[in-house]
Chain A
Amino acid sequence: MRVNGEAHPYTPGLTLWTLLRDLNVDPARVAVAVNDDFYPGARVPDRDLKDGDVIEIVRILGGG
């Protein structure tokens, strides 16, 4: 699977919540996409992940 453009090892039983916990990401301040499903940080579901999933975790930064 890929997380933010980088290869990430898949382990059976991995869920989105455990992934975020393992990455030390506070979901409240981010948005998450699992493939083409988009979730606000506060409403990230604890869905099962599959090998091959493409996950993106983004935040707000200063910009014009």
Chain B
Amino acid sequence: MQADPFHLGGRTFTSRLLAGTGKFHDFGLMREALAASGAQIVTVAIRRVDLKAPGHDGLLDALDWDRLQLLPNTAGCRTTAEAVRVARLARAATGTNWIKLEVIPDPRYLLPDPVGTLAAAEELAADGFIVLPYVQPDAVLARALERAGCAAVMPLASPIGTGRGLRTPDLLATVLDGAGVPIIVDAGLGVPSDAAQALELGADAVLVNTAIAEARDPVGMAHAFALGVQAGRAAFLAGRMAARTHASPSSPVQGVPRLPDPEVPV
């Protein structure tokens, strides 16, 4: 297969699998899983220092950030103002201007606020951030986020951490149709075939965390997701066959050897 670079935020990547760093039992396992995933873009969260036990947890030391693009998120933010503030703290804490924008007022399903997300995206893009907003698969919103200057749009497959896979492929197709920026399916992917499905439909990349971290063998599952993404992308580039209502034999219908049967005319 020819080189198939993935352009995002002014950088070029070879992997179309973005990986999260949450929920791993230890840094050693996380490091091995991230290596097996081949991910070149890795998400982290921003949290207050516990003043009763100050210090850092060592995540920044556990990975080689010269080789990885750090992607802080605004997880936990419920409003535009909170997300903008956390994005600015993230930029100060990491030195990167990339931000995975999450504005999520709903704790039960962790569904994003489209209005608040768009407002935050406009403010952060104007402030020089590379904004990657997490949203529902909504084509009108996706185009608005593009106009606001977002570097990508990240529609969810299903609610965060559910592992239920791509529940609205038809809606994702409307987001992909005419998209002017990369579309990265984020949240809800459970198995590599979910990732393959997203890439087959034309998504540019996927982001996976829980499905890898909560696998019985996170390293093995990270490798499996890397293969799923590669398979899906290769299939998208190759172009799928048209679906039919009725069967169509693959073998020639003429000249089938038959035993004489008095009930069937030869």
Q: Write the residues of chain A forming the contact surface with B, with a CB cutoff of 8 angstroms.
A: 3-6, 23-26, 29-33, 38-41, 56-64
Binds A, one of B1-9, B48-56, B238-246: B48-56
Q: Is the interface of A mostly helix, strand, loop or mixed?
A: strand
Most buried by B among A23, A26, A30, A59: A59
B49→A33 contact, CB < 8 A: no
Chain B residues with CB below 8 A from A5, complex form: 48
A30→B24 contact, CB < 8 A: no
Q: How far is the CA of A38 from the CA of B43 in the complex (A)?
A: 21
Given contacts A62-B44, A63-B45, contact A31 B21 (CB under 8 A): no
B60-85 with Cβ < 8 A to chain A = 60, 72-73, 75, 85
Shortest CB distance A36–B (Å): 8
Residue ID in chain B nearest A4 by CB atoms: B48
Chain B residues with CB below 8 A from A26, complex form: 54-56
Interface size grouping (class) on chain B: 35 or more
Given A3-B51, A64-B187, A64-B209, 10 other A-B contacts at CB below 8 A? A26-B55, A31-B46, A31-B90, A31-B93, A38-B88, A61-B46, A62-B22, A62-B45, A63-B21, A63-B44
Is B95 located at the chain interface by the 8 A CB criterion?
yes
Given contacts A40-B95, A63-B75, A64-B75, contact A29 B60 (CB under 8 A): yes
Shortest CB distance A25–B (Å): 4
Q: How far is the CA of A30 from the CA of B90 in the complex (A)?
A: 10
Q: How far is the CA of A5 from the CA of B52 in the complex (A)?
A: 13
Is B207 located at the chain interface by the 8 A CB criterion?
yes
Is B164 located at the chain interface by the 8 A CB criterion?
no
Chain B residues with CB below 8 A from A6, complex form: 51
> What are 18 of the A-B contact pairs (CB < 8 Å)?
A3-B51, A24-B54, A31-B89, A32-B92, A33-B92, A38-B88, A40-B95, A58-B46, A58-B86, A60-B72, A61-B47, A62-B21, A62-B57, A63-B75, A64-B21, A64-B22, A64-B23, A64-B73
Closest 10 CB pairs of A and B: A63-B45, A64-B20, A64-B209, A31-B93, A31-B92, A62-B21, A29-B56, A38-B92, A25-B54, A4-B48
